[in-house]
């Protein structure tokens, strides 16, 4: 009764719309002498890189037998359209500007002192 089941992956977007990602049917063979025992089997599913920020939502896994359905707690994924954006180069510009001003100031002072003599 519990050897045939389906595994489904889906996500619910910010508008509450349910979108199916992947589904498969499993048929597990129970070896002789292992009947009537609780078994745990792990199934991994890799979600491909998200294409857009519209992929934001909660992703779920559901396992269904004939008369039972078990649903995972879900994983919330926040997808950003731009990804990581480097902050401005304000400090680098400020330091460069300060060094140039200091060099010009020293040159002007040297020229004034040289003209004075």
pTM of the model: 0.55
| Mean pLDDT along residues 31-37 | 79
Class of the CATH-defined domain 4-77:
mainly beta
Q: In DSSP terms, which residues pair with 5 in a beta bridge?
A: 26
Distances (CA, A) of 39 to 42, 84, 116: 10, 43, 95
What local confidence, expressed as pLDDT, does residue 34 receive? 76
**Could you give the CA distance from residue 104 to residue 65 in angstroms, rounded to a whole number?**
80
Question: CB of 8 within 8 A of CB of 25?
Answer: no
Give the other-Cβ count within 10 Å of 57's Cβ: 22
> 82-104: buried (b, 16+ CB within 10 Å) or exposed (e) per residue?
eeeeeeeeeeeeeeeeeeeeeee
Distances (CA, A) of 67 to 58, 63, 74: 25, 11, 22
Q: What is the pLDDT of residues 66-109, one digit of tens each?
A: 889 999 899 888 877 666 666 777 788 888 999 999 999 999 99
Using the predicted structure, report yes or no on whether residue 117 has a pLDDT greater than 70.
no
> What is the domain partition of the chain in residue ranges?
4-77, 88-116
């Amino acid at each position: 009764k519990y050897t045939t089941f389906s595994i489904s992956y889906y996500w619910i977007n910010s508008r509450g719309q349910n979108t199916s990602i992947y589904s498969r049917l499993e048929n597990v063979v129970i070896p002789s002498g292992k009947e009537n025992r609780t078994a745990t089997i792990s199934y991994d599913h890799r979600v491909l890189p998200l294409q857009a920020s519209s992929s934001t939502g909660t992703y779920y896994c559901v396992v269904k037998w004939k008369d039972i359905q078990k649903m995972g707690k879900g994983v919330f994924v926040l997808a950003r359209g731009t990804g990581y954006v480097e902050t401005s180069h304000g400090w680098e510009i400020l330091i460069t500007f300060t060094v140039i001003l200091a060099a010009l100031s020293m040159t002007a002072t040297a020229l004034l002192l040289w003209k004075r003599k």
